[in-house]
Amino acid sequence: MKKYIIRLILVTSSFIAFLSYVHAGHVHPTESTTVNKCTPSGILSLKPVQSCAKTMTSVFDKNGRLWSAWTNGEFLYVNYSDDKGKTFIGDVKVNQVAENISAGHEHRPKIKVSNNGNIYLSWTRKLKKRFTGDIRFSRSTNQGKTFSQPITVNDNKEMISHRFDTLGVNKNGDVYISWLDKRDKQQAIRAGKKYNGAAAYFALSVDEGKRFSRNIKIADNSCECCRMAMDFDQRDLPVIAWRHIYGDNIRDHSIVSFESKLKPKKTNRLSHDKWKLDGCPHHGPSLSISDNDIYHSVWFNNAIKRRGVFYANSHNAGQYFSEPISVGEYNNHAGHADIITPGNSVYIVWQEFSESRYQLNIMYSIDAGKKWSNPQCLAISKKIPDYPFLLTDSNKVYISWHIRGEKYRLIPVNK
C-alpha cells in the first residue's frame, strides 16, 4: 500500500496559516507527564478523579462551555470547563444508585447539550450475563446541578444485549437514542431459526427527555459490537450509520436517513470493502453532515483488497458514496477515526502506533472533501490513549484526546 494515497493538491493562504499554527507548537503538544496515580480501571476511587477515568466524552454547549462525562467505579459523573479544558468544575454524580456502567472505547457514556441548555446522557448498564445490557438515560434541566433518576430506554426487558448506544439532539431539541439490540435474535432462537448479528433500534423523545417513544427497528443483521454514529440532516432529521452484516459475514457499513421523525427510510450500503469476518471488529464508523447536506464518513475495514481507514462522501442523502480514499498508514495500525464538517471544511483525526508510541494524526480539506492536506502528527503518547474526537465551538475546531492518568488534552486545530 502506498504510504499515503492523497497528497496536498491545493495550498491556500488559510492552509499555510494552519501549518504555521501547527509548527509553532500550538497543536503539537509534547508528551504530557502523569498527573495522578490511578487505581485499576473500573475500581471505585474514594475521590472521583476525572483524569483517572478510562474514557471521557466531551461536548461544547452553544456558549462555549465544555461539558464532560466520565465514570468512577459504578458511578457516572459530569463536570465542565470554562477555560478550554485546563480546569474542570463540578464533578456531579449522575446515578445515585451504583450500577455497572459500560465505559469502554466503543461503548462509552454519551453526552449532548441542547440549544436551551439541557444536558442529556445515555449509556449502557451491564447486566449479570456476559454481553448483556440495558440502554440508560438521564438529563439535567438546571445547567448540570442535578440529574434525573436514570431510566431504561429499551422496552424489551430480557437479559440480552441492548448495547452500543449513540445519542443525538437536534436543533429543535428532539432527543434520539439508537443502539444494537438482540431481541430479534432471541425470537429467532426460540423459533429454531438462524439470525446473524443483532438489529439496529432507536427511540425518540419530543418532550426534552421526559418520555421516549416505543422502540423502533431500523434494520436486522447489524454487527453486534461496534459503535454507531449519528448526525442530523438539513431537515433536522437523524442520519445513522453502523457496521452491518451482508451475506456470509461480510462486515461493511450501512446508513439510513429518515422520512419523518419516527419513520426511517430504506437503508443504504455505505462501504463495499467486503471484509469477511465471523467475529467482532470493535471498530465503528464516524459520520458528519455539512451545512450543504453532504454526508461525510470515515470507517475502518480489514478486507483482503482494501485495508485500513477510509473516507467517502455522498451528495444524494446516502444513496451512493464517492470512491473511498485511504486515510493514514495501515502498517502503523491506523484506526478509530473521527470526522467533523464545519462550513465547507472537513477534518479527520485518527490514531496510529509506531516506534512504541501512539500518534494522533489529522488531515483536512477546505473544499468539501475534493482535495486534502498531507497527514500531520499532532501529539504522541507512550500510554494507551482514549480514542480522539473532534469538537466544534462556533467556528473553531478542537480535538479531545484523553489519556488515563494524564492531564486532559483539548487541542485546537484552526484559529
CATH, residue 95: 2.120.10.10
Q: Is 119 inside a domain boundary? A: yes
pLDDT at 262: 98
Q: Is 287 inside a domain boundary? A: no
Q: Is 99 inside a domain boundary? A: yes
Q: Is 123 inside a domain boundary? A: yes
> Would you say the pTM of this structure is higher than 0.85?
yes
23 phi and psi, to 5 degrees?
Answer: -70, -20
pLDDT at 43: 64
On the CB side of 67, how many CA atoms lie within 13 Å of its CA? 24
Q: What is the rounded distance in angstroms from the CA atom of residue 389 to the CA atom of residue 298?
A: 13
Q: H helices within 4-49, ranges in order?
A: 13-23
pLDDT at 34: 58
Q: What is the rounded distance in angstroms from the CA atom of residue 226 to the CA atom of residue 263?
A: 23
Q: Is 390 inside a domain boundary? A: no
Closest CA to 282 of 352, 387, 186: 387
Q: What is the rounded distance in angstroms from the CA atom of residue 390 to the CA atom of residue 394?
A: 13
pLDDT at 381: 97
pLDDT at 39: 73
Q: What is the rounded distance in angstroms from the CA atom of residue 43 to the CA atom of residue 406?
A: 18
Q: Are 177 and 162 spatial neighbours (Cβ–Cβ below 8 Å)?
A: no
Q: Is 131 inside a domain boundary? A: yes
Q: Is 79 inside a domain boundary? A: yes
How many domains does the chain divide into?
Answer: 1
- Angle at the Cα of 113 (from 348 to 400), degrees rounded to 5? 35
Closest CA to 250 of 221, 229, 228: 221
Give Cα separations from 63 to 104, 113, 129, 226, 408 (angstroms): 29, 11, 42, 32, 21
Largest CA distance in the chain: 64
Q: What is the rounded distance in angstroms from the CA atom of residue 411 to the CA atom of residue 261?
A: 35
Closest CA to 357 of 332, 329, 338: 332
pLDDT at 12: 38
CB neighbours (10 Å) of residue 132?
17
Q: What is the rounded distance in angstroms from the CA atom of residue 335 to the CA atom of residue 347?
A: 15
pLDDT at 29: 41
pLDDT at 44: 62
C-alpha cell at 167: 445519542
CB neighbour class for 24 (10 Å; exposed up to 12, middle 13-18, buried from 19):
exposed
Q: Tell me the torsion sign for CA atoms 165, 142, 150, 90.
A: positive
Mean pLDDT by 10 residues, the chain (415 residues): 37 38 39 65 74 97 98 97 97 98 97 98 98 98 98 98 98 98 98 97 98 98 97 98 96 98 98 95 97 97 96 98 97 98 97 97 97 97 97 96 96 88
CB neighbour class for 304 (10 Å; exposed up to 12, middle 13-18, buried from 19):
exposed
Beta bridge partner(s), residue 251: 245
Beta bridge partner(s), residue 319: none
Print the domain residue range for 53. 49-220
Q: Is 103 inside a domain boundary? A: yes
